[in-house]
Amino acid sequence: MGGPPVTRALIPAAGRGTRFLPVTKAVPKELLPIVSTPALQLVVAEAASHGMADVLLVRAEGRTQLADYFAVDEELEAALADRPDLLGRVREVETLARIHQTVQAEPRGLGDAVARGEGFAAGGPLAVLLPDDLIDDRDDLLGPMLSARAERGGIVLALLEVPRSEIGKYGVARLAPGADPSGDAVAIVDLVEKPAPEQAPSTFALIGRYLLPPEIFAALRETDPGAGGEVQLTDAIRRLTLAGVPTHGVVFRGRRYDTGDRLDYLRAVVQLAVRHPDIGAEFTSWLREYVRRTLA
Ligand code: G1P
């Protein structure tokens, strides 16, 4: 039913990172570290661990650092010959996936970024992973999404139930009448990008994981700029949904870290530092003490 397996993932990483200026003058937002691992690496690792061996980075002109980060660095490897622990960390990055890159000349929106992946998808299905959304590696999201696609085909989206006051920041799903969101996958009948909260058709927000069929590219070509004057992926998905392509959502109930702005990023760093295998225990006891002494 679901057709060929999803082996290709696209990661949009062409934004200017304005919320993180000035550091993003020099470092793309996606390479900012969560302790010592870039958010981008965590997302590539998530894709690779679900069988997506080819990853396309959609980057801005000149931002070669993104793909360079994953390239083999023989000089560094030689210098670390007697440090197997560090060498292991470096090799892990270099062997995660086959990294491809393409340029999005201007930031015209998420839909426009995904449209850059048509040649890469080569007529097959495509996963899209937004690097602002980190999924805790103890809580699988792509796995249940891939199962839902294998069973039902079509489009599979990731949903998160959020307070109505926050729903306007997201793409929002209208669930099929009487659909039960506690099941494995819930049928979606319509979508809207960044609605006014009182008009939102539900409180199920799209988060940054998508499994898309090849028809998405034709739909993107027919999609005019929408919310914020940008070509919205949500609007192109909507075209397919309304045209009868089965569209389902997997409701995520695990831990998600948003790294989209400075405050969210700091929260993500602290939460992931607390459980870091090398420094987590020490950081946690320091943090406890710091809060008790300074902030209590
Ligand atoms: C994008 C999508 C939106 C989705 C969100 C998830 O919005 O356009 O539909 O809900 O990612 O993080 P952005 O956060 O880029 O404004």
Alpha carbon of 18 to ligand 1 centroid (Å): 16
d(CA 119, CA 174): 31
Alpha carbon of 52 to ligand 1 centroid (Å): 22
Q: Measuring CA to CA, how many Å separate 52 from each of 90, 131, 137, 143, 185?
A: 20, 15, 16, 12, 21
**Ligand 1: which residue has its CA nearest to atom 11?**
208
Asked if residue 235 has its Cβ within 6 Å of ligand 1, the reply is no
171 CA closest ligand 1 atom index: 9
Single out the residue of 262, 22, 233, 7 nearest to residue 130, CA to CA.
233
pLDDT of residue 190: 98
pLDDT of residue 3: 83
Give the position of tokens 């409180």.
203
Asked if residue 135 has its Cβ within 6 Å of ligand 1, the reply is no
Asked if residue 170 has its Cβ within 6 Å of ligand 1, the reply is yes
Asked if residue 154 has its Cβ within 6 Å of ligand 1, the reply is no
d(CA 142, CA 211): 9
List pLDDT tens digits, range 125-176.
999 999 999 999 899 999 999 999 999 999 999 999 999 999 999 999 999 9
Beta bridge partners, 98, equal 54
pLDDT of residue 79: 97
**Ligand 1: which residue has its CA nearest to atom 15?**
110
Q: How many CA atoms lie within 13 A of 57 on its CB side?
A: 27
Would you say 237 and 216 are in contact if contact means Cβ atoms under 8 Å apart? yes
Overall average pLDDT of the 47-72 stretch: 97
**Ligand 1: which residue has its CA nearest to atom 13?**
170
Alpha carbon of 280 to ligand 1 centroid (Å): 31
Q: Measuring CA to CA, how many Å separate 126 from each of 21, 54, 144, 176, 193?
A: 31, 10, 16, 24, 21
pLDDT of residue 183: 86
Asked if residue 206 has its Cβ within 6 Å of ligand 1, the reply is yes
Percentage of the chain modeled with pLDDT above 90: 95
Best probe residue, ligand 1, of 16, 108, 130 (max atoms within 8 Å of C-beta): 130
Q: How many CA atoms lie within 13 A of 188 on its CB side?
A: 33
pLDDT of residue 243: 98
Give me the amino acid identity at 35: V
pLDDT of residue 295: 82
- For 227, phi and psi rounded to 5 degrees? -50, 135
**Ligand 1: which residue has its CA nearest to atom 9?**
171
Question: What is the distance, to the nearest Å, from the Cα of residue 21 to the centroid of all Cα atoms in its chain?
Answer: 21
Asked if residue 160 has its Cβ within 6 Å of ligand 1, the reply is no
d(CA 211, CA 165): 27
How is residue 181 written in tokens?
């969101």
Would you say the pTM of this structure is higher than 0.85?
yes
Alpha carbon of 91 to ligand 1 centroid (Å): 32
List pLDDT tens digits, range 242-289.
999 999 999 999 999 999 899 999 999 999 999 999 999 999 999 999
Q: Is the pLDDT of residue 223 over 80?
A: yes
Determine the 3-state secondary structure of 168 from DSSP.
helix
pLDDT of residue 29: 96
Determine the 3-state secondary structure of 139 from DSSP.
coil
pLDDT of residue 1: 67
